[in-house]
Amino acid sequence: MLYRYPDNPVRQFVDSPFFQALMKNEPEKWVGQRKRNGWRRPGYKDAGSWTFHAKARTGDEARSPLPPELAAAIASLDIPDGTAFDMEWVGKRDTQFTGGRHWFEVFDILYYKHQWQGNVLLRERMELLRDIFSKIKSDKVVLTPIIPGKDILAKYAQLKWDWEHRLEKPNAEGVTCEGLVVKDVYSTLKGSFKGCADNGLWMKIKYREI
């Protein structure tokens, strides 16, 4: 498989009239995914082995080797050869709340059985991922939940509240997140060979800056 850089979401602000109108007037067109506070690490399985990549222009820490138990966990899963996931490695940041735990949170699929998935609509890629993960039982490689468009604003508020009250509720979901990525269900992937390209149908809304 040829490596393709993962797409970037464009920055948007939850309180902007533009974003509020999108969520209220076209909720069925959008889904949300929590934006974990980790390192973007696309993983490619080829010839039975996994190769993990770091997002372009990230520092040495983001490219550091995985914990052996995390690499072993994904290697043990029955995932077809020629599959590539776009995912986040969680555990290197917010260590006071992750408690030494490391895991992969998968939010998209780039290749499946050696076939590039970039021309497949997001809603169909999500169905494929749900099918793959229906057969996987792992607490180290997990599929991130999909948030329906009608629930995005409420979910953002809940995660933000979690973060603001992190000392009282250190295990709350939003403590290890930084916001949401909101995607058009009809979006495809750019998958540039030269670097991470902005995907104009993806938006990130953040309640904290790292």
- pLDDT score, position 56: 66
- pLDDT score, position 55: 79
User: How many whole angstroms separate alpha carbon 116 and alpha carbon 1?
Assistant: 9
- pLDDT score, position 60: 64
- pLDDT score, position 54: 86
User: How many whole angstroms separate alpha carbon 79 and alpha carbon 75?
Assistant: 9
Number of domains in the chain: 1
Kindly tell me the number of DSSP H helices and DSSP E strands found in the chain. Answer: 5, 12
In the predicted model, residues of the chain with pLDDT beneath 70 are 56-62
Q: Is residue 57 part of a domain?
A: yes
Q: Is residue 1 part of a domain?
A: no
Q: Is residue 2 part of a domain?
A: no
CATH number at residue 110: 3.30.470.30
Q: Is residue 198 part of a domain?
A: yes
Q: How far is CA 73 from CA 32, 64, 79, in A?
A: 27, 17, 12
Q: Is residue 3 part of a domain?
A: no
- pLDDT score, position 64: 83
The residue segments making up the domain with residue 58 are 8-206
pTM: 0.94
Q: Is residue 145 part of a domain?
A: yes
Q: Is residue 194 part of a domain?
A: yes
Q: Is residue 185 part of a domain?
A: yes
User: How many whole angstroms separate alpha carbon 87 and alpha carbon 108?
Assistant: 7
pLDDT 10s digits, 102-161: 999 999 999 999 999 999 999 999 999 999 999 999 999 999 999 999 999 999 999 999
Which of 112, 106, 109 shows the shortest CA–CA distance to 87?
Answer: 106
